[in-house]
Structure 1
């Protein structure tokens, strides 16, 4: 992806007096061309997109495989962008991108196994013994194959997307289905976009983009009243209208016992999922029960909504390294006032949310996130960039202690997955999943947090077996 950060500290980037377009023009934002990548990709077809999917870039080999040349007409609803001599620049818009998509071969099973092996290697080198995955059928088959071969070195908690509930429910898949190595724990869904693409939904427009309040994700549609989410103001609640698609799917999921884990990032996005959760929990007589439903990210929360996490008994699954990465540009996008409610780990915890940490690896179209939990521990206790800025931390009142941060990586996730009787602690009878570091993490977190970034794993032990030794 490209373009997610082009409005951050942009200077002259994207202005008409700056030659930002590689096609030789000076209009609009940065636009690459195949000439920029052909020399490095002669033997490999390449097809990438701008972060907002408004345009795509294909290298010369990809264009050749798709049969696109100077004589290829624009398809209905699409454009093959050309230079002044009529040759394709590699930029494809609308349905023109489908010309390349249809010749992309499916990922082979062996390639998928190789991909999973690479992730498992990164996990064990970082001391990670359990991962949660956004799971497709093809991915699950790869996990099963590696399990049969004895190659799984991390336990995989499985999360199909919520729109699969109509298929999974008739199969009888329910909470905890599977074993200690491969287990279904929930359904994944989304309310809004992400901060990196300015797609997270807010009540007020972005400071750097006065016409933008974020984007609703497809799984939310159809809404009971089209445009209801976009029209919401700070005093509004999404449940003032009848249930839409997401709420219908959540109701279907209740019978399976698999808990919903729903992505919500902006203050409006978070309000929407809190409203929807509250109505479904109430109607299904689950409010006050041990349901362990999750809000994923909860990156920016309206001040009036923090207490609802405790009242509704919700888990906040957050990714602490986001604060170290995003703080560099958050205030430029939403201003200092709204940023006070951003990545508010302390406020979430103090308001009764069960705080659990993850990596969000491999990342988004705006950033790379690593599996190694040292990045998250450092971010949670310092609220600084990897270079130590700002001194004292960004909104330092939201820092956690190192003990709280470690618990959010261990005991908390085990509880959230209904595995507190066998995981998350070093205790007789529990699974022997252990990471041994070359430093005292608690001491570092208390006295020299920057040292957490230097800590290295000596041993990773999963199920009593040493799967990594430095």
Structure 2
């Protein structure tokens, strides 16, 4: 019997044609990334083989086989070659221009003695013009290997510094930014007398303190708001230096895998600069900025104007930063009980709490998030009280306020659950534990340390996310030490065994989330970034090794080798 094949073949061709037409054609990707573990921070698929992007948007995340369908003639392919990728990291609390200027001025963050500071200034004096200001930042007396012979209230005195810089005014900010150290020339220019005058006290400053010796002479250390006695004399920056600092800050972010940055307190000049840089196409990091609470006129102008939520997701202004107490290192943190190593001293309330309540109400009424700096347990309690009072006064406006407390470093145990109850987000810098915990116990005593210091896991378990970061330039921008501190609770030298108060450690998943999706949530941006999810922005950080699985002792060897921002490679390590 003869079989007629052609009608059958024709039918098969028709069916295949119909099937091909019914299958949607994949949009060609501009980037296809594969070849190593890719951690998405997306609960639907925690780890994927490949990611495809179109311009600055993620098209696909999943298996390599499926991702190949997005490959076109113009697709750039990146083989990770075993390296690891995560969502682009977000610095959850830093000072952007401070980061840039820190790269231009004396960087004292790694100094281990007073003598090293003096030597650094002496070296700068050699190239400085007479009368030229020498500025720097980063010293921290509690981190020195040894203290000088002469100290007052735990701080060095200016005599040795002044002796190497007789013709140059010098002002060196403490690592925390909450204190500063001036030489004799700087105090002279500021009109301050080195010998006390009878009946005159020119050193009294509300919300601050000038450290003086037993004879009433200034030691050169200016705490909290007393810093203005000196800083008002320092020449203002120029448009040229501001631009340079901005560009240096962007480059630093790219080197460290930072694609988003929460800038904790900006004024008019910074706003104008950021807008100009965006217009010129130089905004190669996503800035989420907080208006400084020191400028009440600026706040009022923005209340009337309303938040700026940038459709390009490059420059957003929708929050207010309030500075409510000082730092623990300079004994400026506002405490419920006095300092263990300075009885009778409780720190400083650097902003009236009535203004915190007023700002909390204004934030609710005008659509602005409020972010309040609080390190001491009393500052945290007072701010939670003011937030709560505002929420009760305007309950209809509290559905999604996402108010924050920046640092939330030392808490009374009774206040820990209040964060989740009130929906207040703690923005905490884990690396501060590595730097501060060895000496913080001297300030607070063992009981307060163990019950309320750096309470990450307790806060997470209560149901509130944590925004992580470094507070750069207080600490270096590099996110790896903060990740390490989050999961080990050790110093960067690996001490002590088991970590400080180990029950409060984060898991590695929690730590990564605190630098990505939870940080995005802290800025109302979790729908557009923070995880490798189709439809979100194509921001990625690539590392030389798998920081999620390497042994704990190897975490600090992790390096950022590539940063992808807005779908473009903006940094690639060459050596």
Q: TM-score, normalised by structure 1?
A: 0.79
C-alpha contact 2:161 2:183 (8 A) present in aligned 1: no
Looking at structure 2, the residues matched to 74 and 49 of structure 1 have their Cα atoms a distance apart, in angstroms, of 30
1:460 counterpart = 2:563: yes
How far off is 1:271 after superposition? 1.1
1:58 counterpart = 2:169: no
Distance 1:245 1:101, change over 3 A: closer
C-alpha contact 1:190 1:219 (8 A) present in aligned 2: no
How far off is 1:437 after superposition? 0.6
Aligned to 1:366: none
Say what the alpha-carbon RMSD is for the aligned residues: 3.6
Looking at structure 1, the residues matched to 232 and 415 of structure 2 have their Cα atoms a distance apart, in angstroms, of 45
Q: How many residues align?
A: 418
Looking at structure 2, the residues matched to 271 and 68 of structure 1 have their Cα atoms a distance apart, in angstroms, of 36
Say which of 284, 289, 311 aligns to 2:394. Answer: 284
Say which of 403, 411, 415 aligns to 2:509. Answer: 403
Q: Which moved more, 1:175-184 or 1:381-390?
A: 175-184
1:153 counterpart = 2:303: no
Looking at structure 1, the residues matched to 460 and 396 of structure 2 have their Cα atoms a distance apart, in angstroms, of 22
Say which of 20, 31, 51 aligns to 2:150. Answer: 20
Provide the secondary structure at the position in 1 that maps to 2:402. coil
Note the alpha carbon deviations across 1:29-54, whole angstroms, 9 max, x for none: 65544653564x58854234789999
Provide the secondary structure at the position in 1 that maps to 2:496. coil
Provide the secondary structure at the position in 1 that maps to 2:401. coil
Distance 1:150 1:74, change over 3 A: farther
How far off is 1:69 after superposition? 11
How far off is 1:289 after superposition? 1.6
How far off is 1:120 after superposition? 1.6
How far off is 1:97 after superposition? 9.0
1:47 counterpart = 2:171: yes
1:195 counterpart = 2:358: no
Say which of 338, 341, 344 aligns to 2:455. Answer: 344
Looking at structure 1, the residues matched to 427 and 369 of structure 2 have their Cα atoms a distance apart, in angstroms, of 13
C-alpha contact 1:192 1:199 (8 A) present in aligned 2: yes
1:298 counterpart = 2:386: no
How far off is 1:74 after superposition? 11
Distance 1:325 1:67, change over 3 A: closer
Say which of 427, 432, 438 aligns to 1:322. Answer: 432
C-alpha contact 2:403 2:425 (8 A) present in aligned 1: yes
Match runs of 1:55-454 below 5 Å = 57-58=182-183, 60=185, 77-78=201-202, 103-133=233-263, 134-162=265-293, 163=296, 164-170=298-304, 172-174=305-307, 176=309, 179-220=312-353, 244-286=354-396, 289-340=399-450, 341-363=452-474, 369-444=475-550, 448-454=551-557
Distance 1:310 1:103, change over 3 A: closer
Looking at structure 2, the residues matched to 129 and 245 of structure 1 have their Cα atoms a distance apart, in angstroms, of 33
C-alpha contact 2:542 2:561 (8 A) present in aligned 1: yes
Q: Greater RCO between the two (CA within 8 Å, min separation 6)?
A: 2
C-alpha contact 2:371 2:405 (8 A) present in aligned 1: yes
C-alpha contact 2:376 2:410 (8 A) present in aligned 1: yes
Provide the secondary structure at the position in 2 that maps to 1:188. strand
C-alpha contact 2:290 2:317 (8 A) present in aligned 1: yes
C-alpha contact 1:165 1:252 (8 A) present in aligned 2: no
Provide the secondary structure at the position in 1 that maps to 2:571. strand
C-alpha contact 1:318 1:358 (8 A) present in aligned 2: yes
Which structure shows the bigger proportion of residues in strand conformation? 2
Looking at structure 2, the residues matched to 373 and 417 of structure 1 have their Cα atoms a distance apart, in angstroms, of 19
Larger radius of gyration: 2
C-alpha contact 2:404 2:424 (8 A) present in aligned 1: yes
Looking at structure 2, the residues matched to 211 and 31 of structure 1 have their Cα atoms a distance apart, in angstroms, of 21
Provide the secondary structure at the position in 1 that maps to 2:537. coil
Distance 1:29 1:52, change over 3 A: farther
Aligned to 2:23: none
How far off is 1:349 after superposition? 0.7
Q: Which moved more, 1:45-54 or 1:157-166?
A: 45-54
Q: TM-score, normalised by structure 2?
A: 0.65
Looking at structure 2, the residues matched to 215 and 54 of structure 1 have their Cα atoms a distance apart, in angstroms, of 12
Provide the secondary structure at the position in 2 that maps to 1:160. strand
Note the alpha carbon deviations across 1:419-455, whole angstroms, 9 max, x for none: 11111111222111111111111112xxx12322111
How far off is 1:276 after superposition? 1.0
C-alpha contact 1:165 1:249 (8 A) present in aligned 2: no
C-alpha contact 1:175 1:256 (8 A) present in aligned 2: no
How far off is 1:68 after superposition? 9.5
Looking at structure 2, the residues matched to 403 and 56 of structure 1 have their Cα atoms a distance apart, in angstroms, of 40
Looking at structure 2, the residues matched to 335 and 63 of structure 1 have their Cα atoms a distance apart, in angstroms, of 35
Provide the secondary structure at the position in 2 that maps to 1:442. coil
Distance 1:70 1:128, change over 3 A: closer
